[in-house]
Amino acid sequence: MTGPLRGLALACRGVSFSYEEARAAIPALRDVSFKLGAGRSLALLGASGSGKSTLLQVIKGLDAPEAGEVLLDDVPAAAAAGAELRRQVGLVFQTPELQLFATSAREDVAFGPRRLGWQEPDVAAAVDEALALVGLPPEQFGGRHPYALSGGEQRRLALAGVLAMRPRLLLLDEPFVSLDPATRRELAKILLRLRADGVSLVLATHDVDLAWALCDEVLVLDAGRVVAAGPWDLGEAGRELREASRLREPFLVDLWRRLGRDVASAPRTVAEAAEALR
Partner 1 sequence: MTPPSAGPSEPSAESVDGPTAPEPVAPLLDVRGLRYRYPGASTDALAGLDLSVAAGEFVAVVGANGSGKSTLARLLGGLERPAGASTAVACSHDLLSEDGRMAARRDVGVLFQNPENQLVAECVEDDVAFGLENLAWAPEAIRARVDEMLERFWLTELKTREPHLLSGGQKQRTALAGVLAVPRRALVLDEPTAMLDPAGRDEVLEAVRGLRAGGLAVLYVTQEMDEVVGADRVVALEAGTVVYTGSVGGLFGDGALVRRLGLGLPAAGELALELAAVGREFAPLPLTLDEMLVALGGSS
Partner 2 sequence: MKPAIAQYYPGDSVVHRLDARAKFVAVTGLAIALFVRDSFAGLAVFAAAGVIAYVLSGVPAAWFWRAFRPLLWLVGLTFLAQVLFAPGEPFFSFWIFHFSWAGLEFAAFLSLRLLVLVLIGSVLTLTTAPLALTDGLAWLGRPLRRLRVPTDELALMVTIALRFIPTLLVELDQIMRAQRARGADFGSGGPIRRAKALVPVLTPLFVLSFRRADELALAMEARCYRPGLVRTRLHPLRAGIGDAVLLGLTVVVIVAGLLV
Which residues contact partner 2 by CB under 8 A? 22, 57, 60, 62, 87, 90-91, 93, 95, 97-102, 111-112, 115-116, 147, 161-162, 165
CA distance 109 to 130: 8
**48 touches partner 1 (CB under 8 A):** yes
**180 touches partner 1 (CB under 8 A):** yes
CA distance 175 to 159: 9
**22 touches partner 1 (CB under 8 A):** no
**184 touches partner 1 (CB under 8 A):** yes
**In terms of Cα–Cα distance, which of 187, 145, 154 is closest to 170?**
187
**181 touches partner 1 (CB under 8 A):** yes
Among 1, 26, 148, 177, binds partner 1 (CB under 8 A): 177
CA distance 41 to 214: 7
Nearer of residues 115 and 246 to partner 1, judged by Cβ: 246
Q: Residues touching partner 1: how many (CB under 8 A)? A: 33
Residues in region 208-267 near partner 1 by CB under 8 A: 209, 246-248, 251-252, 254-255, 258-259
CA distance 205 to 46: 8
What DSSP character marks residue 74?
T
At its nearest, how many Å lie between partner 1 and the CB of residue 42?
A: 19
CA distance 45 to 206: 6
Q: Give residues with Cβ within 8 angstroms of 217, minimum separation 6.
A: 36, 40, 41, 42, 43, 229, 230, 231, 232
CA distance 173 to 147: 21
265 binds, among partner 1, partner 2, none (CB under 5 to 8 A by kind): none
**83 touches partner 1 (CB under 8 A):** no
**In terms of Cα–Cα distance, which of 223, 260, 264, 261 is closest to 244?**
223
Nearer of residues 22 and 80 to partner 1, judged by Cβ: 22
Identity of the amino acid at 103: T
At its nearest, how many Å lie between partner 2 and the CB of residue 95?
A: 7
| Sites of contact with partner 1 (CB under 8 A) | 47-49, 150-152, 177-185, 206, 209, 246-248, 251-252, 254-255, 258-259, 270-271, 273-275, 277-278
